[in-house]
Amino acid sequence: MDGLRRWALWVAVAAIVLAVFACIGAGFLISPPSLEDRILLLQQDPSAAPGELDQDDIADLSADDFGESADDPPGLAIPYLALPLGLLLIIVALMALPLIIGNRRVPLVGGIVSIVGGLAAVIGGIVMTIVAIAALLTMVSLFLAAPWGTLAYLAIFGFFDVGTSAALLGLILVLQLAAIVFLLVAQQRILGNKRLVFWLLLSLLLTLLTMLLHSIVPVILVSITDAVGAIILAVVGVVWGLLLLVGGVISLVKQLSLGRQGGGPLREREAADTTVGSVGATARAG
């Protein structure tokens, strides 16, 4: 831990925590108009609908046609971004672990944290993938089932709060960049950990991908590309969580083996001297 600037490390951790909270809170910030307002907007601007739709059918739309379950169109990608960012937070937090519990317990505690975090990510990511695939299939099926299916899609999913989403993703991106900068300020040798650098860059790439998927199609199709992005994020989270889980199991098994063999003063000093390497190995496994 020589040359470590602790304050910069804590700022980096805080920036990632804020980014995770921003993702989780997206559902409270991104709010399209109510179903009644969406139908009214569609009736006032029929040109937003595909040309093959009958304008009289659009004029006859009513909120009663869709039921209560249609009130909240899904915006999945930004909340799903919390999964890879949460895993990144675990890896960066492991770097700060010696400052909290000391060097001797880091491999054991780090292994346990990696196992719990990785297992939660794998299970949660699988469930999230299933939900996102179901949402995507529903939206695509409705959109292609002209005319009434397409009308239902437009009324339920055709309005996406692109502006708020872009602003929120911009904030998340800035927080991620700030975390990387402060990690470099905390310890310049972080660039030598190629796998940790890879995960940092991957988290940035996933955020940029989400921004791209929200901007490359007309607004009526953003819900579909958003679901595609959510599937990608969930799958990446599952793979990342699996790697973190495996790394945690290996680390924990090694520590338990050392414990059974007995550890004298020399072994304790060796464990303390290799703490940074152990944390780096866990980060590389993640």
Residue 143 lies in a domain: yes
Exposed, middle or buried, 76 (CB in 10 Å: 0-12/13-18/19+)? buried
pLDDT of residue 268: 43
Residue 1 lies in a domain: no
Total residue count of the chain as it appears in this document: 286
Residue 35 lies in a domain: yes
Say if residues 211 and 245 touch (Cβ distance below 8 Å). Answer: no
Q: Encoding tokens for residue 121? A: 């990510």
pLDDT of residue 109: 82
Residue 281 lies in a domain: yes
pLDDT of residue 33: 65
Residue 108 lies in a domain: yes
pLDDT of residue 23: 94
pLDDT of residue 27: 75
pLDDT in tens, the chain (286 residues): 556 788 888 999 999 999 999 999 887 777 666 666 666 666 666 555 555 555 555 555 555 555 554 555 668 999 999 999 999 999 988 877 777 666 667 777 888 889 999 999 999 999 999 999 999 999 999 889 877 778 888 878 888 888 889 999 999 999 999 999 999 998 888 777 788 889 999 999 999 999 999 999 988 899 999 999 999 999 999 999 999 999 999 888 887 787 666 544 434 444 444 444 444 544 444 5
Residue 190 lies in a domain: yes
pLDDT of residue 97: 76
Domain that holds residue 224: 6-65+75-285
How many domains does the chain fold into?
A: 1
Residue 70 lies in a domain: no
Residue 189 lies in a domain: yes
Rounded to the nearest 10 degrees, how much is the dihedral formed by the CA atoms of 63, 65, 69, 71? -20
Q: Encoding tokens for residue 271? A: 């464990």
d(CA 168, CA 86): 17
SS (H, E, C) the chain: CCCCCHHHHHHHHHHHHHHHHHHHCHHHHCCCCCHHHHHHHHHHCHHHCCCCCCHHHHHCCCHHHCCHHHCCCCCCHHHHCHHHHHHHHHHHHHHHHHHHHCCCCHHHHHHHHHHHHHHHHHHHHHHHHHHHHHHHHHHHHHHHCCCHHHHHHHHHHCCCCHHHHHHHHHHHHHHHHHHHHHHHHHCHHHHHCHHHHHHHHHHHHHHHHHHHHCCCCCHHHHHHHHHHHHHHHHHHHHHHHHHHHHHHHHHHHHHHHHHHHCCCHHHHHHHHHCHHHHHHHHHHHC
Q: Which residue has the tokens 């995507």?
A: 136
